[in-house]
Amino acid sequence: MTETDVVPLLYKPSAWGSVFSQLPHNEALGGGSAGPGKTMALLMEPMQQILVEHERCRDPDHKFHQPWGSSSGHAIFLRRTHPMLADVIKRAHRLFRAIDPAVKWNENKSTFTFRSGYVYQFGHCHDKTDWENYLGFEFTIILWDELITFEEEQYDQINSRLRSFDPVLRGMLKIRAMSNPMMQRKRGDNYSVSNPNWVRTRFVDPSPAGKVTLVKKIRMDDGTIERWTSIYMPALLSDNPDPEFRRMYEINLQQKKPHIRQALLRGDWYTTEGSFFAEEWNPALHICKPFDVPKEWPKWRSMDWGFKLPGCIHWWAMDEDGNVFCIREMKFQGQTDEQVAEAILQVEKAMGWSKGKSSKLTGPADTQLWEQRGDSGKSKAQAMADKGVYWTKADKRSRLHNSELFSKRLVDHSDGTTTPGVVFFDTCKDIIKLIPAIQTSDKNSEEPADGNDDHPFDSTLYSMAYASHGRAGLGWVERDEEDEKREERKNRGRWGYGSELM
């Protein structure tokens, strides 16, 4: 009995696992709920290479025959810390010895070496710079288990060692990863992750439903174009073929907090362990379908400026009971202040929120809009006002205080029977994805963490502080034409850039 005959007797993948193992992509992430056998599927990913190498050594007539012990194949299975590898290595001992009784284990190097010479290594990256330990290696397959526990730089640096001079293995190179969606920025004093959402941003955000091939075109030095393909393959507990396992796992998950249960059972990437708003945020209450906003509701906008990273603008309205609705969202990146102002006017003209060449709205914006610029001396606020878009300075005195205002609005409901203090139209996708992922600050457990990718959240906090002044202090209420004329006469000469327009 050959190794090819033994493998099916030892490991029978689920239907999901079979699909994953046959993916032709350069890079693939299997992610989602716990329980469908992701780690086992990952452990067995190099089997195709291992079997090919055994066949090349066994068959003297093989076009690329090689002597026993000469294979250059090298797999590496990575977890963030060494103790995390213990259970996987235990499984590997049982499986690999059954596949190849002559396989040798090196405790010091954490490697299995098969008769062909193929090396299967188990490694870790506890410290952020531990990727340097793998400089000079040539891996033919790189395997990442619980990818969310790694730093993005560790992932990129080690992946750059995917290479081979061998004509057979060169066509089999691949990167594979598995992960649950939950990650804390810091796991006690053991290790930390700078950005706990990088895996989601990189693999899930482009196509949350998954199963879509993403193509990156790479221009080579000789002018040719190479294609690098990647894919996200969602996995659910229901993909595990063992009904008793599924039943017991689901029972055990009922003891978890709702956001943790949602992540582990449903594979929800937009809820995060350690989320600052884990207890308050409820999509069933805080998200609604868009509706026609009554004319008498005050309306305003908020903005957090961004240039290298995307900035964000939100439009808001307040009902008669003081509940706030986020009714529209717009992101921008790499644009000038005048370009952003023109984009705002386009939105507001279409919504009937402008008059002539100017907006009727105002609202809070990041105070950096009022900083003087070196070239013309004109601030962004002035440049946007010249275009007819006006702002007030956001209250940034206390991020903690503004977060408390937001939390109070989130919990301002009674058993789900009344409208919460803040609700988001389901078209405001970026802020909806971000809120359940906001982490708790390492410095203050009462305050949300401040990150580089949270412009939509900062815009929301500015709006919470602005709305705390009540309906009378908000940006604009639609009036009859005669009311508007009377108000204009009353306030003529008072309005400068950045003021509240009526």
Spatial contact of 229 and 215, defined as CB atoms under 8 Å apart: yes
pLDDT at 85 over 80: yes
Please give the pLDDT value at position 451. 65
Residues 230 and 133 occupy one common structural domain = yes
Contact 306, 453 (CB under 8 A): no
| 193 lies in the same domain as 311 | no
pLDDT at 497 over 50: no
pLDDT tens for 292-325 read 999 999 999 999 998 777 899 999 999 999 999 9
Last residue of a domain, one of 207, 241, 257: 257
Q: Is 12 in the same domain as 157?
A: yes
Q: Is the pLDDT of residue 445 over 80?
A: no
Which range is most confident: 37-41, 274-278, 457-461?
457-461
DSSP assignment of 180-215: -S---SEETTTEE-S-TTHHIIIIITT-TT----EE
Select from 280, 312, 307 the least CA-distant residue to 454: 312
State the average pLDDT for the chain.
85
Q: What is the predicted pLDDT for the residue at 375?
A: 46
CB neighbours of residue 109 within 10 Å: 12
Whether residue 309 sits in one domain with residue 191: no
Query: Residue 212 CA to chain centroid, in angstroms?
Result: 17
Largest CA distance in the chain: 98
Say what the pLDDT of residue 260 is.
58
Statement to judge: residues 212 and 292 lie in one domain: no
Closest CA to 13 of 4, 22, 26, 2: 22
Mark whether 319 and 371 lie in a shared domain: yes
Q: Are residues 250 and 111 in the same domain?
A: yes
DSSP strand pairing (74-79 vs 104-106):
unpaired
Same domain for 296 and 246, yes or no, is no
Do 103 and 195 fall within a single domain? yes
Give the domain-ending residue among 215, 241, 257.
Answer: 257
Taking only the tens place, the pLDDT of each residue in 212-271 is: 999 999 999 999 999 999 999 998 777 776 677 667 666 666 666 555 555 666 667 776
User: How far is the C-alpha of 207 from the C-alpha of 218, rounded, in Å?
Assistant: 21
- Please report whether residue 146 resides in a domain: yes
The model carries a pTM of: 0.66
Asked if 454 and 461 count as a contact pair (C-beta separation under 8 A), the reply is no
Judging by DSSP bridges, how do beta strands 311-318 and 324-332 pair with one another?
antiparallel
Confidence of residue 10 (pLDDT cuts 50, 70, 90): confident
CATH of the domain at 412: 3.30.420.280
Q: Are residues 239 and 379 in the same domain?
A: no
How many other β-carbons are positioned within 10 Å of the β-carbon of residue 450?
A: 13
Q: How much is the pLDDT for 417?
A: 60
pLDDT greater at residue 342 or residue 261: 342
The answer to whether residue 318 is domain-embedded is: yes
Work out the burial of residue 370: count CB atoms within 10 Å of its CB; fewer than 13 is exposed, 13-18 middle, 19 or more buried: middle
Residue 74, beta-bridge partner list: 119
Residue 341 forms part of a structural domain: yes
Q: Would you say residue 156 lies in a domain?
A: yes
pLDDT at position 482 over 90: no
Give CA–CA dist 475/299, Å, rounded. Answer: 6
Asked whether 35 and 243 are in contact (CB, 8 A), the reply is: no
350: Cα within 13 Å, side-chain hemisphere? 7
- The more confidently predicted of residues 278 and 487 is 278
Same domain, 69 and 186: yes
Tell me if 501 is assigned to some domain: no
For residues 45 and 108, membership in a common domain is answered with yes
Residue type, 120: Y
User: How many domains would you assign to the chain?
Assistant: 2
Q: How far apart are the first and last CA of the chain?
A: 84
Of 150, 154, 145, 174, nearest to 162 by C-alpha is 174
Write down the H helix ranges in 241-298.
243-253, 258-266, 283-286
The residue from 257, 274, 292 where one domain ends is 257
Domain with 447, as residue range(s), is 283-491
